[in-house]
Structure 1
């Protein structure tokens, strides 16, 4: 039996975290939370200027932070980003796969899915599935060399039950759940028990990508938003900072025997039958 360390098991001091999609609302909050827990944070996004802006904001709080420029679907760019962070900080301990989102052309709100363009379906699946698999394999290789690391994927309520209008997104997130379990098993058995892979499944949070379908121009909630809140026992949307506790837990020694799990952070949405 491995004893729990006497020090704060949630402390991430000295660890190096890479957050893909770290310039977004939810990814940015996760990056901030990891920094507050003591981690050095590399913010990875397609635009270096946006990453530099986020990293600068983290440094203003006293954290160590840097920006990495890469498309999560570009293997060469990911390799260069990995080499950059390892060259500067010597290791990678944490990967948060927060890059993702829906594609407007792949939505089928209020209509049957027959007219959905297949290239739009492919685009949303690649962004949300391939865009987590590729970074996991690239940065996971660095973790395997050091024998320890934690990968956290982002699942969704759409992986657990049918949510209208988002076929491609739902398919990709369901695959994320399976990928999380598969990679957790494979890495622990082949690379050592110090490598862990988990996911969080956020409920409904207001972000740039979904604001247009949840909030009217006058600031009132759409019918879809009202339905979501009616199905959420806590009766509200989540605040982005409410993801931080789950992420820090899964990345820390407090979760040293936790791998292959998907943790809902959803105000009870996934537990409620609607009755």
Structure 2
């Protein structure tokens, strides 16, 4: 019920901390994994780690905002493995200038930076779905298409966070896109098409570490507030996203569609009182 053996998966943002953990995790569950990311050497390293652990993987150097590169990556996957069953959209993040810092005003927010964070998170999810989702849906007998798409949302989508206005709005759009596609794809192509999302709580990554933790390992003021509002009393570990991902991609979640699953240590449940 929870195995992915025989499935072919593509993980965008597979070169990042969270995306890499998810790529390695679904490989351990039996999936063959295409590690997609802009950083060619990093993608190759993650794929090598998967293969050294007994899995099957290949690097897919590509930018999620470049349709031609995505289409080339899709053809590489189809030529080697013949199919695409799973797409995990883990590419994303914040963009400098798309936040309102101390002493700054929302009214002076850069339009270019705001558009940039939407491109990275929203368009960088839409384009991979169009490219790899087409491999799942098109060319199949009417009503018989199957495929699993998992988008990566955020706590910022459900409970907007101070400062990160662009990122919060973009991730809220991911939630809406997830639900819209969860209706559109199975109705048009087949009940086997499912679209869900994971909403991570606070995990230390490349982009947010300096905001949450000081060089000596102590919490910043912002990091302390987050931990105070997280009943688990700590940040998440990247591997703690893997179980939910495997479940969503497996036959065990065959009737789960249009859901946004929090993996947040209780952050979204806590009122602060």
TM more than 0.5? yes
Structure 2, unaligned runs of 5 or more:
none
Give the deviation of 1:109 after TM superposition.
2.5
Structure 1, unaligned runs of 5 or more:
1-8
**2:51 counterpart of 1:53:** no
Q: Distance in 1 between matches of 2:237 and 2:42?
A: 22
**2:43 counterpart of 1:42:** no
Q: Distance in 1 between matches of 2:189 and 2:148?
A: 13
Q: In the alignment, what sits opposite 1:271?
A: 269
Give the deviation of 1:115 after TM superposition.
2.2
Aligned length in residues:
267
Q: Give the root-mean-square deviation of aligned CA atoms.
A: 0.9
Q: In the alignment, what sits opposite 1:138?
A: 131
Q: In the alignment, what sits opposite 1:97?
A: 89
Q: Distance in 1 between matches of 2:175 and 2:114?
A: 19
Q: Distance in 2 between matches of 1:130 and 1:13?
A: 30
TM-score (norm 2): 0.96
Which of 231, 236, 239 is the aligned partner of 1:238? 236
Which of 79, 100, 104 is the aligned partner of 1:87? 79
Helix, strand or coil: the match of 1:104? coil
Question: Which stretches of structure 1, 4 residues or longer, exceed 3 Å deviation after superposition?
Answer: none
Give the deviation of 1:220 after TM superposition.
1.1
Helix, strand or coil: the match of 2:176? helix
Q: Distance in 2 between matches of 1:98 and 1:204?
A: 15
Q: In the alignment, what sits opposite 1:157?
A: 155
Helix, strand or coil: the match of 2:97? helix
Aligned counterparts, 1:102-251, within 5 A: 102-110=94-102, 111-145=104-138, 146=140, 147-251=145-249
Q: Distance in 2 between matches of 1:19 and 1:54?
A: 11
Q: Distance in 1 between matches of 2:3 and 2:240?
A: 18
